[in-house]
A and B are shown apart, each in its own frame.
Chain A
Amino acid sequence: MDKGYIENGFIVDVSNANKTSEIIYELSRILDLPDAQSKKVCLKLGSVNLTSTELTSIKALVESMNSEIEFISTSSDETVKSAEDLNIKVSFLENKVPTPEFNADQEKVNRELEKALDKIFGDESSDIKTFAQEEDLKKLKEELPSEDVEKVANIKPEAITPEHQMETIDNAEVETSEKVENISANTSDEIKEELENFNSQLENANKIEGEDLEDVDFNLDDLRKSLRETEKLPTLYIQRTLRSGQSITSDGNIVIIGDVNPGSEIIAKGDITVWGILGGIAHAGSAGNQYARIRALKMNAIQLRIADVFARRPDNINIPYIQKTDTFVPEEACIRKKQIIIHKIHES
């Protein structure tokens, strides 16, 4: 448990549920997954008051699936009391799961998402953003104002030396919380400028290091830190095809070996990797991680969402179904310039 997650177990977050029926619905749905059986369950309850009878029925449900409740976390005193009657451990989960700093900004993420949605659905005249394909990337690069080229020249000497980078990474651990605040406090213009600077800086870094960092956005230090945070998150591993109507939500990363058919959805706080055709809705970094990625052997998603950025399949692409072929070119979606782009995963 020191690792921040439960060994041979997982966390079920039902803190949004207000009724016992909702908890049972959610629980039975999750426990029904083949991967969830015979494992320890940690139940994250919200402020809901549960009597010992209700808790007994929940416990029985979990046990009927060959799983057992490891401990529960709750903010209600009544539930704590009933749990003590039943000899169920009560614990405070919040302290044990590493919550990346960007989690704190959930409200902002919601607001941004709403804004983005208003833009898309509220106003007919505005252009709707669709996935940017690799060719579009080149256009995006060309759009950079010429002034930035001079700035690049200024930045160059600092960015090159590897030692310097090592330093910044070490510092990052201490400073990140401040940085996150800074980013959220910045006005959009400033962010844009920062971005453009950074992107040109990156292009330079690529040339020298020869590392594949083309798709990195915002801040290298933040990215490195974020990658480590994502590694620490628990990963849900599913080996079957996700069919229409099925939905999987996780506090960590999700790996699916199989196809994700249209009509299904995957929501993860970390990364999403699909070893198959991604045809449904995927939302990575649902708690606000801008650096979350969605990878798939074939990207045919109806909608992609990363943190608060939203993109949908272009209307002119009209593929009722994807033919399964022997060769796939794996693709990856990430955020670049506040827009979701899809690019091929190159060999490195």
Chain B
Amino acid sequence: MSGRVIVITSGKGGVGKTTTNANIGTALAKAGKKVVMIDTDLGLRNLDLLLGLENRIVYTIVDVVEERCKLKQALVKDKKNPNLCLLAAAQTRDKSAVTEEQLKDICEKLKKDFDFILVDCPAGIEQGFQNAVAGASEAIVVTTPEMSAVRDADRIIGLLESKEEIKSYKLLLNRVRPNLIKSNDMMSVDDVVEILSADLIGIIPEDTGIITSTNKGEPIVNDEKSLAGKAYNNVARRIIGEDVPFLDLEEPKGVMAKLKKFFSGLTGKEK
């Protein structure tokens, strides 16, 4: 088995890298793939919290690198899905505890046993970013429809293009608010795609459910009703290679809107 190593990065902090990682990982595992997530945000780890695995971590990536344990021992299995594993970051160390070579090595080893290796990248473009990107061959750039996030994403794409190992990169637009786009208060999806001229892999709507899911340690893809959860599931399916149309984010309001939507569906106007 030779797994795909995908790094999830953004440049700017707080746009949803870790949330994206946790949800795509969970969705891929639900689809029957063997997935391992690597948290490379040494010293500021969060991925374990989002997955609710914090209390299970004994060994971290630094213990693996410094040979205090075997790689297999450090992999924390998910509570629900045995296909999903986490290699946690050390909280008591900083980014310099791991080198690019070491991370590359870990990715190579994990490739043999897993279909997907998702690398959670820290914010910024320093050592942590370089480490995270080192072992990857694909990248997902997460951004929000805000000027600052888009600028940083542009910078990141530039850096990714200069790396030979990164064969392809895709754009994931997070925290989209259709209402604001409609009233021209937010950049539209097309605007962002045009500025960055990159392929889109998913559009995730802003969802208050994300906050509760983060606090609970339960990825939102497990919530069937959530729109963001659906969107993340679709991203996972696109990663696997399925052709899934983008979600219609506009929530129908009231009976009239629902009827309207129903009819537009009938006449095939829906995009």
Contacts and interface: CB of A to CB of B under 8 A. Distances in A.
Contacts of A312: 55-56
Contacts of B75: 121
B94 to A, nearest CB: 9
A340 B212 CA distance: 31
A262 B56 CA distance: 13
Contact of A120 (B52, B56, B79, B82): B56
A244 B24 CA distance: 27
Interface stretch (A80-88, A190-198, A313-321): A313-321
A121 B92 contact: no
B77 interface: yes
Contacts of B44: 245
Interface residues of A, number: 22
Contact of A247 (B56, B73, B92): B92
Interface in A210-261: 244-247
A43 to B, nearest CB: 21
B77 A245 contact: no
Nearest to B70: A114
A192 to B, nearest CB: 25
Interface string B194-236: 0000000000000000000001110000000000000000000
Nearest to A263: B91
Given A124-B82, A318-B216, A245 B92 contact: yes
A246 to B, nearest CB: 7
Nearest to B93: A245
Interface size bucket, B side?
Answer: 20 to 34
B152 interface: no
Given A121-B76, A124-B77, A124-B82, A245 B56 contact: no
Interface of B (DSSP majority class): loop
Contact of A265 (B73, B76, B79, B92): B92
Interface string B70-114: 000101110100100000000110000000000000000000000
Contacts of A318: 216-217
Contacts of B73: 114, 117-118, 121
Nearest to B214: A320
Interface string B163-205: 0000000000000000000000000000000000000000000
Interface in B52-74: 52, 54-58, 73
Contacts of B56: 120-121, 312
A310 B216 CA distance: 24
B43 interface: yes
A302 interface: yes
A14 to B, nearest CB: 15
A37 interface: no
Contacts of B57: 303
Interface of B: 43-45, 52, 54-58, 73, 75-77, 79, 82, 91-92, 215-217
The list of the 6 closest CB pairs from A to B, nearest first, reads A312-B55, A247-B92, A313-B55, A263-B91, A302-B55, A245-B91
12 contacts: A117-B58, A121-B56, A121-B58, A121-B73, A121-B77, A124-B82, A245-B43, A245-B91, A302-B54, A303-B55, A310-B58, A315-B79
Given A121-B77, A245-B43, A265-B92, 14 more contacts: A117-B73, A121-B56, A121-B73, A121-B75, A124-B77, A244-B91, A262-B54, A263-B45, A263-B91, A264-B91, A302-B54, A310-B58, A315-B55, A320-B215
